[in-house]
C-alpha cells in the first residue's frame, strides 16, 4: 500500500505505499514443493483507491562509510529515524531484488493501543531496506527484527510474505505502543520499545495466504533440546536450517503485561492476542484466503461458515497442502477471483447488474432501513494499483533467479508481464513518473489497462470473454518464451553482464508487446460494443456490408436476461406496461 513520489531523496527512487481502506492487500505464498517447477512464489495485490500502478526500480549502489539515511514514513511523509547506510545495496525491481529475495505485505492493523507514535522505522522502509541489504529470507527476518528493536516500529500491525529460492516465510509484527506505566507513573518492568513478532516457515509442499487479518495463531516454543523454534534471544541461530519458527522473546510476556492474554504459554495465539477476529475480519479479509484455499483443495469447503463470518471459532489452518502442484499460470489465475462457486459469488446478485459485473463501488458497508449490509471484498478488485507473482528459481544463475510477473490495475483483467529482477532498467510503459493518478499518460500501462477494465464493467459478461482470450494468449506465450530465454542464458560462457543485457531487452520487448496488444484490444472492444450494440465477427474480423467495406452488417442487439426484465417489471411495471389489446 503505497503513497507516491516521496522517496526521491531517499534510498529507493520511486517507491511509496499508501494506506488504503481497511481491507487493503492480498498475499498468497507457495513453497518449492507446492509448485510444478520447484520454484518458490509469493503474490501481492497492492489495492488502493489512490495508488498509481508503476514498477519501482532501485539500482545497486555503493556508499562511503558514515553515510546516513533519513527514513521517511510511507503513509504520512513524516521523517522518522536517521540510520546508517550500508556500504553496498542490491538492485531491486518492484518487491524483488537481484538475488531473488521477494517481500510482500498486508496491513491487519491490530490493537490500536499497540501503535507507537515514537517509532523510528515504518513497515515500508523495513521491506525495501531488507530487499536492498539482504540475499535470503532468513537474513531479511533478522534484519527486520534487529531494526525494530533498535529504532522502534512506527506502523500498524503487518503480515509479511518473505521468499527466496529455497524457502517461503510468513512474518507478523506489531508495535508495543506507548510505555506502560504503574500507578506511580514509572515504566512497568518488562516493557521495552520496539515490536513483537512471529515468523514461520511454510512447510515444503504447502501453501499459505494472508489478506489484512493476522493469521499466525499458536506456534511451537523454544526448547533446550530442539532448534526448530527459537526466540530472538538466539537470533544468531536463525541460519540453522532446522529452524522453522522464530519469535520475539517478549511476544507472550508483553501480551500478558498489556492484558491481552491470560493462560499457559503453550496456548498463546499471536492473532488472538494482538488482532482478535471479527465479522469484518472474516468476511472482508479471511474470505479471500478461503477462496484461494478452496480452489486448491476442495476439503476447505468446511470453513465456508467461518469465511462468511458466521462461525468465528471455526478457524482455518495457517497453511494447507494443495490437491496438486501449481504452475506459475495457475498461481496467476488464483489472483483472479470474485468468489465464483461460493455463496458470496459477486456475479450472481442484483448488484452485478444485467451483465454480471462482479464489482461494487464503495462504501463497502451500508444501511437500509436501519439494518447494516456489506458488499463482498474479493481478491480481484477495481482499485488495485499493481500486483505481481514473484517467482524465484533456485537452479538458475544469480542474475536470472528472480522474475517478478508484474501487472497493473484489476488482477482479473491485467496481464502478468515477466520482469527479471536483475535487469538494468524498467520498460517505459511501467516506468515511475510516466503519468500519475492525477495525470493521464498515453504511454502508461496503468491508464491503458484502466481504459479496458472500466469499459468492460459496462458490459462485463460479454467483454470479459474477449479480454480473457488476449490475457491467456500473452501470459502463456510469455511463459514459453521465458523457458526459451532460460535455455539461452544457461549456455556455457554467458557472462553475468551479458545475462543482464539479455533479460533487460527481453522484459522491455514483452512490455511493449503487452502495451501494443492491449491498445489494440481497447480499440477493438470500443468498436465492437459501442452504444450497446455488438458487432458481428467472422474469422476474427468484423462482418461488413457486401457493397461497403467500411459499413458493418446490422449488429446483434442481445436482450437483457429474463431475470433482469422481471426485476424491472417488479420495480416499474405499472408505468411501462403495454395495454392489452381488446
The CA distances from residue 565 to 62, 69, 199, 286, in Å, are 67, 63, 54, 35
- Angle at the Cα of 552 (from 550 to 558), degrees rounded to 5? 155
pLDDT at residue number 19: 33
Indicate if the pLDDT at residue 22 is higher than 50.
no
Q: Do 447 and 561 reside in the same domain of the chain?
A: no
Q: Do 103 and 28 reside in the same domain of the chain?
A: yes
Nearest to 174 by CA among 214, 208, 140: 214
Q: pLDDT digits over 28-51, tens only?
A: 999 999 999 999 999 999 999 989
Q: Do 70 and 16 reside in the same domain of the chain?
A: yes
As given in the structure block, the three cell numbers for residue 420 are 527479471
Within-domain flag for 500? yes
Q: Do 549 and 475 reside in the same domain of the chain?
A: no
Within-domain flag for 289? no
Q: Are 130 and 123 in contact (CB under 8 A)?
A: no
Residue 368 C-alpha from the chain's centroid: 33
pLDDT-based confidence at residue 356 (cuts at 50, 70, 90): very high
Q: Do 542 and 506 reside in the same domain of the chain?
A: no
Within-domain flag for 300? no
Q: Do 474 and 546 reside in the same domain of the chain?
A: no
Residue range 481-501: mean pLDDT, rounded: 92
Torsion of CA 240, 241, 242, 244, to 10 degrees: 100
pLDDT at residue number 582: 82
Within-domain flag for 6? yes
Q: pLDDT digits over 408-464, tens only?
A: 999 999 999 999 999 999 999 999 999 999 999 999 999 999 999 999 999 999 999
The secondary structure of 216-270 as a DSSP string is: ----PPP-SS--SEEEGGGGGGGGSTT--EEE-TTHHHHHHHTTS--S-GGG--H
Indicate if the pLDDT at residue 321 is higher than 90.
yes
Q: How far, in Å, CA of 141 to CA of 103, rounded?
A: 10
The CA distances from residue 128 to 14, 461, 564, in Å, are 11, 40, 49
Contacts of 454 (CB under 8 A, 6+ apart): 382
On whether the pTM is more than 0.85, the answer is yes
Q: Which of 527, 546, 568 is the last residue of a domain?
A: 527
Q: Are 347 and 452 in contact (CB under 8 A)?
A: no
Q: Provide the pairing of β-strand 92-93 with 57-58.
A: antiparallel
Contacts of 246 (CB under 8 A, 6+ apart): 141, 145, 198, 199, 229, 230, 231, 232, 235, 238
Q: How far, in Å, CA of 329 to CA of 216, rounded?
A: 28
Q: Do 552 and 423 reside in the same domain of the chain?
A: no
Q: Are 237 and 227 in contact (CB under 8 A)?
A: yes
Within-domain flag for 286? no
pLDDT-based confidence at residue 15 (cuts at 50, 70, 90): very low
Indicate if the pLDDT at residue 402 is higher than 70.
yes
pLDDT at residue number 493: 83
Q: Do 252 and 396 reside in the same domain of the chain?
A: yes
The secondary structure of 434-498 as a DSSP string is: S-BTTB--TT-HHHHHHHHHHHHTTSHHHHHHHHHHHHHHHHHHHHHHHHHHHHHHTSTT--HHH
Average pLDDT, the chain: 93
Q: pLDDT digits over 163-215, tens only?
A: 999 999 999 999 999 888 888 889 998 888 899 999 999 999 999 999 999 99
How far does the chain reach from its first CA to its final CA, in angstroms?
65
Q: Do 561 and 485 reside in the same domain of the chain?
A: no
Q: Do 425 and 548 reside in the same domain of the chain?
A: no
Nearest to 419 by CA among 516, 511, 333: 511
Residue range 518-547: mean pLDDT, rounded: 94
The secondary structure of 48-80 as a DSSP string is: -TT----B-EE--EE--TT-EEEEE-TTT--EE
pLDDT-based confidence at residue 395 (cuts at 50, 70, 90): very high
Indicate if the pLDDT at residue 382 is higher than 50.
yes
Within-domain flag for 309? no
Q: Do 449 and 556 reside in the same domain of the chain?
A: no
pLDDT at residue number 226: 87
pLDDT at residue number 474: 98
Q: Do 176 and 122 reside in the same domain of the chain?
A: yes
Q: pLDDT digits over 233-244, tens only?
A: 999 999 999 999
Q: Which of 490, 507, 527 is the last residue of a domain?
A: 527
Q: pLDDT digits over 113-136, tens only?
A: 999 999 999 999 999 999 999 999
pLDDT at residue number 9: 30
Domain that includes residue 81, residue range: 1-277+318-337+382-527
Within-domain flag for 366? no
Tally of domains in the chain: 2
Give the helix, strand, coil percentages of the chain, each rounded to 5.
35, 20, 45
pLDDT at residue number 540: 87
Q: How far, in Å, CA of 83 to CA of 146, rounded?
A: 13
Within-domain flag for 295? no
Amino acid at each position: 500500500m503505497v503513497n507516491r513520489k516521496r522517496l526521491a531523496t531517499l534510498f529507493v527512487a520511486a517507491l511509496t505505499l499508501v494506506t488504503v481502506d481497511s481491507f487493503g492487500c492480498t498475499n498468497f505464498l507457495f513453497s518449492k514443493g507446492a509448485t510444478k517447477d520447484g520454484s518458490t512464489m509469493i503474490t501481492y495485490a497492492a489495492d488502493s483507491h489512490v495508488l498509481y500502478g508503476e514498477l519501482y526500480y532501485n539500482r545497486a549502489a555503493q556508499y562511503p562509510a558514515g553515510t546516513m539515511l533519513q527514513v521517511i514514513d510511507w503513509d504520512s511523509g513524516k521523517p522518522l529515524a536517521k540510520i546508517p547506510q550500508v556500504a553496498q545495496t542490491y538492485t531491486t525491481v518492484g518487491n524483488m531484488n537481484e538475488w531473488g529475495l521477494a517481500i510482500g505485505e498486508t496491513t491487519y492493523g491490530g490493537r490500536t493501543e499497540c501503535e507507537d507514535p515514537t517509532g523510528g522505522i515504518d513497515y515500508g522502509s523495513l521491506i525495501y531496506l531488507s530487499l536492498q541489504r539482504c540475499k535470503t529470507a532468513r537474513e531479511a527476518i533478522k534484519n527486520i527484527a534487529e531494526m525494530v528493536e533498535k529504532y522502534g516500529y512506527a506502523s500498524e500491525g503487518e503480515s509479511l510474505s518473505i521468499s527466496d529460492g529455497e524457502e517461503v516465510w510468513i512474518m507478523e509484527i506489531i508495535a508495543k505502543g506507548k510505555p506502560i506505566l504503574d500507578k506511580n507513573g514509572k515504566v512497568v518492568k518488562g516493557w521495552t520499545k520496539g515490536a513483537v513478532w512471529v515468523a514461520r516457515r511454510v512447510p515444503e509442499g504447502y501453501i499459505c495466504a494472508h489478506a489484512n487479518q493476522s493469521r499466525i495463531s499458536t506456534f511451537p516454543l523454544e526448547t533446550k533440546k530442539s532448534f526448530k523454534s527459537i526466540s530472538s534471544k538466539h537470533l544468531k541461530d536463525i541460519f540453522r536450517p532446522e529452524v522453522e519458527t522464530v519469535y520475539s522473546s517478549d511476544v507472550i510476556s508483553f501480551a500478558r503485561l498489556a492484558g491481552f492474554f491470560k493462560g499457559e504459554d503453550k496456548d498463546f495465539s499471536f492473532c488472538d492476542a494482538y488482532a482478535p477476529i471479527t465479522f469484518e475480519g472474516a468476511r472482508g479479509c479471511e474470505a479471500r484466503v478461503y477462496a484461494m484455499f478452496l480452489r486448491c483443495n476442495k476439503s476447505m469447503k468446511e470453513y465456508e461458515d467461518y469465511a462468511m463470518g458466521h462461525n468465528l471459532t471455526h478457524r482455518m489452518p495457517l497453511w494447507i497442502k494443495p490437491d496438486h502442484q501449481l504452475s506459475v499460470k495457475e498461481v496467476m489465475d488464483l489472483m483472479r477471483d470474485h468468489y465464483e462457486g461460493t455463496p458470496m459469488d459477486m456475479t450472481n446478485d442484483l448488484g452485478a447488474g444485467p451483465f454480471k459485473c462482479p464489482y461494487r463501488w464503495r462504501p463497502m458497508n451500508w444501511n437500509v432501513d436501519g439494518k447494516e449490509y456489506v458488499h463482498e471484498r474479493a481478491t480481484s478488485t477495481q482499485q488495485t494499483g499493481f500486483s505481481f507473482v514473484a517467482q524465484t528459481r533456485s537452479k538458475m544463475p544469480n542474475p536470472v533467479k528472480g522474475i517478478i510477473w508484474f501487472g497493473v490495475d484489476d488482477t482479473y483483467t491485467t496481464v502478468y508481464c515477466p520482469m527479471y529482477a536483475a535487469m538494468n532498467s524498467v520498460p517505459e510503459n511501467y516506468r515511475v513518473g510516466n503519468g500519475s493518478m492525477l495525470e493521464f499518460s498515453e504511454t502508461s500501462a496503468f491508464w491503458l489497462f484502466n481504459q479496458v477494465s472500466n469499459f468492460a464493467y459496462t458490459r462485463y459478461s460479454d467483454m470479459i470473454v474477449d479480454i480473457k482470450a488476449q490475457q491467456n494468449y500473452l501470459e502463456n506465450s510469455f511463459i514459453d518464451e521465458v523457458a526459451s530465454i532460460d535455455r539461452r542464458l544457461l549456455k556455457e560462457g554467458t557472462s553475468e553482464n551479458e545475462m543482464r543485457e539479455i533479460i533487460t531487452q527481453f522484459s522491455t520487448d514483452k512490455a511493449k508487446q503487452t502495451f501494443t496488444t492491449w491498445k489494440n484490444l481497447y480499440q477493438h472492444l470500443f468498436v465492437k460494443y459501442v452504444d450497446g450494440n455488438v458487432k458481428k465477427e467472422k474469422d476474427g474480423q468484423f462482418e461488413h456490408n457486401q457493397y461497403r467495406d467500411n459499413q458493418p452488417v446490422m449488429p446483434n442487439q442481445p436482450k437483457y436476461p429474463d431475470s433482469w426484465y422481471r426485476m424491472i417489471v417488479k420495480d416499474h411495471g405499472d408505468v411501462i406496461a403495454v395495454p392489452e389489446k381488446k
